[in-house]
Structure 1
Amino acid sequence: MPELTAQGGRDRLSAEDAPRTPAAVYAVSAVSALGGLLFGYDTGIISGALLHLREDLDLTSREQEIVVSVILLGAMAGALVSGRLAVRHGRRKVVVAVAVVFALGAAAAAAAPGVGSLVTARFVLGLAVGGASSVVPVYIAELAPAPIRGRLMVLFQLMVAIGQLIAYLCGWALADSGGWRTMFALAVVPAAALGIGMVFLPESPRWLIGRGRTDQALAVLARLRPDGYAVRKEIAEITEAVAGTGGTAVDGTTSGRWRDLGQRWVRPALLIAVGIAAFSQLTGINAIVYYAPTILVDAGFGDSAALLTGIGIGAMLVVAGVVGAVAVDRAGRRRTMLWFLPGSAIAMAVLALAFLGPVDSPAQRWTVIIALFGYILCNGIGMQAVVWLIGPEILPLAVRGPATSLATVTLWGFDLVIALSALTAIRTIGQSGTFMVYALMNVACIVFVVTKVPETRGRSLETIERALRRGGSFRKALHV
């Protein structure tokens, strides 16, 4: 039976060669990825809710941008806090707390009597979104077997896409005035499911070893690995990684310090994680997710057509998540980005050209819709399927908490910039100019991937960390 070895950066086990994975691994990933569904639903529901919310509460364009974007400000705060909490209290407990905050924020948003209370409720939701996006991918990465780690982590992004699709469907079905309150309230159900489900899931074995609880970590891995899998070898590799964290205490009390991010050997991984996080937003995905119905209505599409197009965008995100889940383990992370990001850039450029004049003919409108769908599909596979995967994979154990938090804060920070500037940019330089800027950002992202991003498919987290510690070119150290 093939098994991971500890002989260097080229060690790899393919998903095809791996022994059968216990069902418990998929259960862990599925339940924890409900955090992704809530993330997708709570960020996506504003798209449909905004059409009537702005009328019911008489919102200006700037107020609309604030209602949309305050959840992102909360997400930045949640990401900063949750990484440190996950180091101190464990990944599982933090995800349970996130579920509680999701439920409270959704209930408060549904009951909000005015703009101020709605903004506050969406900030609370943002805390949960930031916590989920920072901790859940790390939790899955640290429990998943290396051969299928990619597809299990992309399950988080797939659940984000499913959450956004459900949000679009709810926005269309509850389009009457006042229906936005029900849209917000529905998020309480998956929040309760996440909180209850996480109570029965195990803690990360890597966190347990960091706290000196090796026997518990061994029991967890025995449940999550196939019969005959070298569990004790994996325990030994994790213990070696914990012991080699440059003076960090094995009991975890001083691990995950922010100042450790400045170490020279950590910087290549940190640059990649932060860079991919930034480009995931600068390439324009959430300008489309948040504002597509508004943009289409303002361009002359009817409300129903705009909402149905939003549903199509949600469906494309789900398709992209499924394809991405397969591609990252079969083709690899780097290759998936390089295959699909050019299509993302071309589709966004076509969209920009379609808006050069009034969108008043059927041919122009179909061009807009097809370009939107093409962009969502290509960017969803080439970027969104990888963004929550690459950081937890390449960031070393000693700084994984704060480093993942920093990458997540970067993502939400640029998302905030996009949310606050998209409508303003369209008013200032037009739809065509705005979409062309996003197209150029896709091109810049391709250059970044070519020059900086290594391939991590099939490598254990400890093998990736050893390659990083050797110094030199991180991409070449992991190159096959």
Structure 2
Amino acid sequence: MKHSSQNSKKKLSIPPLAYAAAAVAAIGGILFGFDTGIISGAILFVQHDFSMTISERSWAVSMVLVGAIIGSASGGYLSDKLGRRKSIISSAALVVIGTIIITASPDVYLFFAGRFIIGTGIGVASFISPMYISEVAPKSIRGAMVSLNQLMVTVGILVAYMVSLYFSPSGNWRAMFFAAVIPAVALIIGMIVLPSSPRWLVFKGNVDKAMNVAERFTYDKEKADDAIRQMEIENKEQKNAKISELWSPSVRYVTIIGVMMAVLQQATGINTVIYFAPTIFEFAGYADATASIAASVGVGIVNVILTIVSIFLVDRVGRRPLLLVSLSGMILSLLGLSAVFSIGAASLGVYTAVFLMTYIASFAIGLGPIFWLLIAEIYPLRVRGKAMSVATVANWTSNFVISLTFLGLVSLLGTNTVFFMYAIVGVISLIFVLKLVPETKGLSLEEITKK
């Protein structure tokens, strides 16, 4: 009977635990998406309650990004010190605390403080969640499982838009923000019952426990033995790793790729759409807040659908082809938006919706999920925690700069010019991917390290 049970396990190939771990960790993506996306609808009401200036509106959106920069900067240390699992639990707890502060805030300053604390939590989760998934997922589905995190980000954004739409008739922005407590508590409970990453257990010297966990994720003792031996070899080097090693000759190339992809992903303007979609629709002539938020829900739905398509394609087509298609579509859509706002047609709103949807669809099928997948794959284990932290800091910093300057640039240069600028960055990004970004499809993390 025991032999039959082992055979049936092998037939399953991929244990349910691997899927469960990826799914729970990806709730961190929901928090990421919800807490960055909810401001897009809520700001239309918050700005009136607190009589915000344009500068204060920009900071209300961007303060969460200041926290995210700090959270992601400390995330590498936390992931090595506490482990992936406990770091994710801590990040969700910060989201709960920040959310309570926001919903109770009597003025703009306490509102900013709550946004900052939430940002710190999602900054930590933004790279430790995909790191945990990449370290427990079998290589045959690793790309899809890590991309699941990005899918949950898009689901979180869509849920944020729908929650905003539900409460928009009453203008109850405090209830909009409080909804974040639900996925945060779910993430805390889920991570409490999941095991630690076997890679982190090896890093802490707990090899026997790492072996037991690895077997639970593979159903194959031989594969688990091989993986643990490889981790032990790399771990001997990792313990003395310094952040300066990211610029050593053996790592410099992937460091540049990670940081540049982080910057370019944001500099194409994606989060101006995520954070300001209802505002952009108001620029295009949508009559009121509810209509603008309703139009944004359509953008959110497209984002989710195309991210699902990307998950099915990433381990079949590969990373590079999807990135090239993605950037090409984004460039064309940005040029279309620039043209529409330049012409100022009577049907501006319809064309704006079309080009925003093709833009978000193009992003979702490639640049959105694949950036996070690449930074979970390309770095050697020795410096992976520190390297992912640096790339994530670069991503959040770029996000902050783009988001903080969007409304000011629109006021100064016009919406058409701003979208044209993002299109130029898209062309630079396309050239960068074409020339420098490697293909990692079908390779284990150990094989990528050797390569």
Q: Give the TM-score range, shorter chain.
A: over 0.9
1:236 and 1:372 map into 2 onto residues whose CA distance is 48
2:181 aligned partner, one-letter code: V
Match of residue 349, structure 2, among 365, 374, 379: 365
Residue identity opposite 1:405 in structure 2: S
Between 1:208-217 and 1:117-126, the stretch displaced more is 208-217
Whether 1:266 and 2:251 are equivalent positions in the alignment is: yes
After TM superposition, give the deviation of residue 83 of structure 1 in Å: 1.1
1:223 and 2:216 correspond: yes
1:14 is aligned to: none
Q: 2:130 aligns with which of 137, 148, 155?
A: 137
Cα-to-partner distance string for 1:271-303 (whole Å, 9 max, x where unaligned): 111111111101111011111211221332122
Mean Cα deviation higher: 53-62 or 294-303: 294-303
From 316, 323, 332, the equivalent of 1:346 is: 332
Contact 2:247 2:255 in 1 (8 A): no
Residues 38 and 160, structure 1, Cα contact 8 Å, conserved in 2? yes
Pairwise CA distance, 1:339: 2.0
- 1:196-211 correspondence runs (5 A): 196-211=189-204
Greater CA drift, 226-235 or 31-40: 226-235
Residue 463 of structure 1: aligned partner: 447
Deviation at 1:395, TM superposition (A): 1.0
CA distance in 2, matches of 1:319, 1:139: 24
1:318 equivalent in structure 2: 304
- State the distance in 1 between where 2:144 and 2:374 align: 12
Structure 2 letter corresponding to 1:186: A
Amino acid at match of 1:384: G
Say whether 1:447 aligns with 2:431. Answer: yes
Find out whether 1:280 has 2:273 as its counterpart: no
Partner of 2:156: 163
Match of 1:12 in 2: none
Aligned pair partner of 2:292 in 302, 306, 311: 306
> Matches of 1:320 and 1:284 in 2, distance apart?
18
- Structure 1 residue 422 and structure 2 residue 419: aligned? no
Instruction: Please state whether the residue corresponding to 1:347 is helix, strand or coil.
Output: helix
1:392 aligns with 2:385: no
Please say if residues 143 and 205 of structure 1, whose CA atoms lie closer than 8 Å, have aligned partners that are also in contact: yes
Equivalence for 1:238: 231
**C-alpha distance in structure 2 between counterparts of 1:465 and 1:278, whole Å:** 23
Of residues 108, 115, 118 in structure 2, which corresponds to 1:115?
Answer: 108
Distance in 2 between the 1:407 and 1:414 partners? 11
In structure 2, C-alpha distance between the alignment counterparts of 1:259 and 1:342, rounded to whole Å? 35
Which letter does structure 2 place at the counterpart of 1:39? F
Does structure 2 conserve the Cα–Cα contact (< 8 Å) formed by 1:39 and 1:133? yes
Q: C-alpha distance in 2, partners of 1:57/1:263?
A: 50
Query: In structure 2, what is the equivalent of residue 89 of structure 1?
Result: 82
SS at match of 2:286: coil
Instruction: Find the partner of 2:394 among 376, 401, 410.
Output: 410
> Matches of 1:122 and 1:316 in 2, distance apart?
27
For the 8 Å contact 1:77–1:127, the answer to whether it is kept is: yes
Cα shift at 1:340:
2.2
CA distance in 2 between counterparts of 1:228 and 1:338 reads 39
Residues in 2 aligned to 1:292 and 1:238: alpha-carbon distance in whole angstroms: 44
| TM-score, structure 2 normalization | 0.95
Equivalenced residues, count: 440
Tell me by how many angstroms 1:189 deviates: 1.1
**Contact 2:285 2:349 (8 Å CA) reproduced:** no
CA distances 1:214-241 after superposition (whole Å, capped 9, x unpaired): 1111111111114476221111222222
* CA deviation after TM superposition for structure 1 residue 177, in Å: 4.9
Shift in CA distance, 62/405, structure 1 to aligned 2, threshold 3 Å: same
Alpha-carbon distance in structure 1 between the residues aligned to 2:306 and 2:368: 9
Question: Is the 1:56–1:177 contact (alpha carbons within 8 Å) kept by the matching residues of 2?
Answer: no
Contact preservation (8 Å) 1:56, 1:178 = no
2:173 pairs with 1:192: no
1:59 aligns with 2:52: yes
Is 1:393–1:461's contact at 8 Å kept on the other side of the alignment? Answer: yes
1:292 maps to which residue? 277
Q: Which amino acid aligns with 2:341?
A: F
Q: Distance in 1 between matches of 2:420 and 2:291?
A: 24
Q: Distance in 2 between matches of 1:178 and 1:121?
A: 19
Match of 2:4 in 1: none
Paired with 1:89 and 1:432, the residues of 2 have a C-alpha distance of 47
Q: Runs in 1 of length 4+ with deviation above 3 angstroms?
A: 226-229
Structure 1 partner of 2:415: 431
- In structure 1, distance between residues paired with 2:104 and 2:38: 16
Quote the sequence identity (%). 38
In the TM superposition, residue 178 of structure 1 has moved relative to its aligned partner by 4.3
Whose helix proportion is higher, 1 or 2? 2
Q: How far apart are residue 260 of structure 1 and its match?
A: 2.3
Question: 1:386 Cα deviation (Å)?
Answer: 0.6
Q: Which amino acid aligns with 1:230?
A: K
